[in-house]
Amino acid sequence: MSLNFDSGDTVAYQTARPFFTDGEEKQPVEWTDFTSNRHAILMLLMSSGFPPGPWVITESNHVEVFKRLYILERVHGCMQVMFKEDVKTDYYLTLEIVKSFIGLHANVGNKTNAAFNKHLALCWRRRAEDNIRAAG
């Protein structure tokens, strides 16, 4: 199944969207941040699923969505990395960023807290088994 999403109604999109000046498209600096954050949120949502309810980040579920994304970034590693002069900086999602994506729809399905916790346990088990294999 393909990933389908709509972020057009989000505050993040409304403040970062490209605009036209003298017939030429301009992209504000915020556009890169928006697309990077949206990508990270979508990739993590495919693993976490939405809490039970509609497949959209809402005012009532954005804190729970953030908790899940926060946990997954700590399990799998930061989704966004920036390099400046050969210095790597991890760029983690924040509650403020997730809140700016209220209105983001995605067909990633739902997971109850129990299903999400089970998924986390499997992730940690796989990670431990990978470390054992790597140690030889």
- Segment 55-105, tens digit of pLDDT: 999 999 999 999 999 999 998 888 888 888 888 888 999 999 999 999 999
Query: What's the full length of the chain, in residues?
Result: 136
Q: Give counts: helices (H), strands (E), the chain.
A: 5, 6
- What is the arithmetic mean of pLDDT over 17-44? 80
Which contacts of 121-127 are long-range, i.e. CB under 8 A and separated by 24 or more positions?
A: 123/75, 123/76, 124/75, 127/75
pTM of the full predicted structure?
0.85
Q: Is the pLDDT of residue 6 over 80?
A: yes
91 to each of 18, 36, 55, 80, how far by Cα in Å?
23, 10, 25, 5
Mean pLDDT, the chain, whole residue set: 90
Which residue type, as a one-letter code, is found at position 31? W
